Structure 1
């Protein structure tokens, strides 16, 4: 919705989005750490830096890949992220993945495929497809790093991600000048959508399995067309509706089953 509303090019958008997201995350650190802010960033463990690099890689590769392939293929290839996270967490963290989570991930991936079935006819390029796979691995890597370092504060990692992405975008953008029209949109895009989103994700993913964290992130391609439809009255098409319902339905059914299982296993009230 935001990208459709601004006139800036992609690299300029990434720069300002990263800049405003950094302001939000840095401000959050100032509030939480007070006088220890410099030490927290300086002494951040390698896990934080690694996670920041993963998020940065996913963000930059997405922009570059758009020059080589379609959004449809990128979203579909991003859909492999929960599977990669599940396998990696099983091998590295010995974190079991329930059968219902595998089924939900498969249903979500099929849903994404249905959503983009018309756009797949536009074709693509092997370079773009490879970058799409890199995005899936990068996002899964960030999730596994987060799960394996649950006692480490990850807000510094999110700060590093915005610094890395912003620096790369600054070197690639033809100009970082933006209009007064674009400024409020990009402020919201970085401060609210990315900054707040990364803070919530890094906090929440510490408490659920890596596969489920990656699965929840797949709501993005399902809800994106809904926002565009609400604001611009742009018809997403029948396939997008069917695929989106299937993707969101997979997540809802998985959540309801977990809630039911939790109540069933909970001890009776005294």
Structure 2
């Protein structure tokens, strides 16, 4: 049978151990991203584009340093050359999503954006199935539905009718771009995507530089911008790029929903912003759904494979 006969044949095969490592890395990326709101509260810069510029610049600096430490200058240069069109696609997806987020905040509520982002696992699952016939288990579909319902409860108090089509359109664009980035990273697992995320941050920073009214910030703000760029964005992107290639796109996107769940917790603990009852209820639904699904995935991976059950091709 030719390679083009079955779209699923192009999908990477990974061991259960690699898949568990991938799930851990994607979770860690969501953990890093969840610190964004807490760090942003400490930054007192009027121009949002200035914040985006410095955040992106520090992220790029970290990602370049990480690649040079791991692969050397020549290896890093080769990584950028070898990422090809898939890497460029991921870079454009991340650059578009991060830029759209800033613009969307000026037109719609954070609640609406979070609600759109809750649909990322569904979009990623559909894209992976349509493009590469990556099968999605019934348990994953149930977890996706529970996550969407939980996030809807979380943001229901903030939803309102006075929003613009531009803002909600950009919020949808963020979800679509992140879904495409997840699917591309999974499909082209042989391509190291850390340089792609670095290029995405560079493109976002360049766009922000063209929009910013000033670049000067206080030493205090620069310290928090450093953390915003390195810890929140740079390390998060590195973990995601290394982990999403090892797990099904739908599960990677599901793990990413830990970000909006953990974010309010850090803001509550650090800034004493108490979450609402609906936020707690919705967050509990999402966390329960994710933990149950992860537990079932680990149980499935630990189960001994039997001939004729896994669906994997025979070694003969």
Give yes or no for the alignment of 1:251 onto 2:290: yes
Q: Which residue matches 2:73? A: 35
| Aligned equivalent of 2:56, options 10, 18, 24 | 18
Q: Distance in 2 between matches of 1:107 and 1:44?
A: 35
Give yes or no for the alignment of 1:262 onto 2:307: no
Give yes or no for the alignment of 1:4 onto 2:51: no
Off by >4 Å, runs of 4+ in structure 1: none
Q: 1:100-139 counterparts in 2 under 5 A?
A: 100-121=139-160, 123-139=162-178
Q: C-alpha displacement at 1:39, in angstroms?
A: 3.8
| Aligned equivalent of 2:202, options 163, 184, 190 | 163
Q: Distance in 2 between matches of 1:253 and 1:205?
A: 20
Q: Distance in 2 between matches of 1:91 and 1:134?
A: 19
Q: Which digits, 9 at most, give the CA deviation of each residue in 1:28-87, with x for residues without a partner?
A: 111222131334324431111110000111101011011111000010011111111101
On the 8 A contact 1:70/1:122 being kept in 2, the answer is no
Which sections of structure 1, spanning at least 5 residues, go unmatched? none
Q: Distance in 1 between matches of 2:162 and 2:287?
A: 26
Q: C-alpha displacement at 1:248, in angstroms?
A: 1.0
State the Cα RMSD in Å: 1.4
Q: Distance in 2 between matches of 1:78 and 1:53?
A: 18
Q: C-alpha displacement at 1:218, in angstroms?
A: 0.9
On the 8 A contact 1:57/1:138 being kept in 2, the answer is yes
TM-score by length of 1: 0.95
Q: Which residue matches 1:75? A: 114
On the 8 A contact 1:21/1:191 being kept in 2, the answer is yes
Give yes or no for the alignment of 1:219 onto 2:253: no
Q: Distance in 2 between matches of 1:224 and 1:230?
A: 10
Which sections of structure 2, spanning at least 5 residues, go unmatched? 1-37, 307-316
Q: Distance in 2 between matches of 1:40 and 1:254?
A: 34
Q: Which residue matches 1:234? A: 273
Q: C-alpha displacement at 1:260, in angstroms?
A: 2.2
The number of residues matched between the two structures is 267
Q: Distance in 1 between matches of 2:68 and 2:300?
A: 40
On the 8 A contact 1:48/1:154 being kept in 2, the answer is yes
On the 8 A contact 1:77/1:133 being kept in 2, the answer is yes
Per the alignment, in what secondary structure is the counterpart of residue 96 of structure 1? Answer: coil
Q: Which digits, 9 at most, give the CA deviation of each residue in 1:225-264, with x for residues without a partner?
A: 1011000111111011011111111110101111222333
Per the alignment, in what secondary structure is the counterpart of residue 206 of structure 1? Answer: helix
Per the alignment, in what secondary structure is the counterpart of residue 217 of structure 2? Answer: coil
Q: Distance in 1 between matches of 2:97 and 2:254?
A: 16
Q: Distance in 2 between matches of 1:45 and 1:121?
A: 43
Q: 1:89-104 counterparts in 2 under 5 A?
A: 89-104=128-143
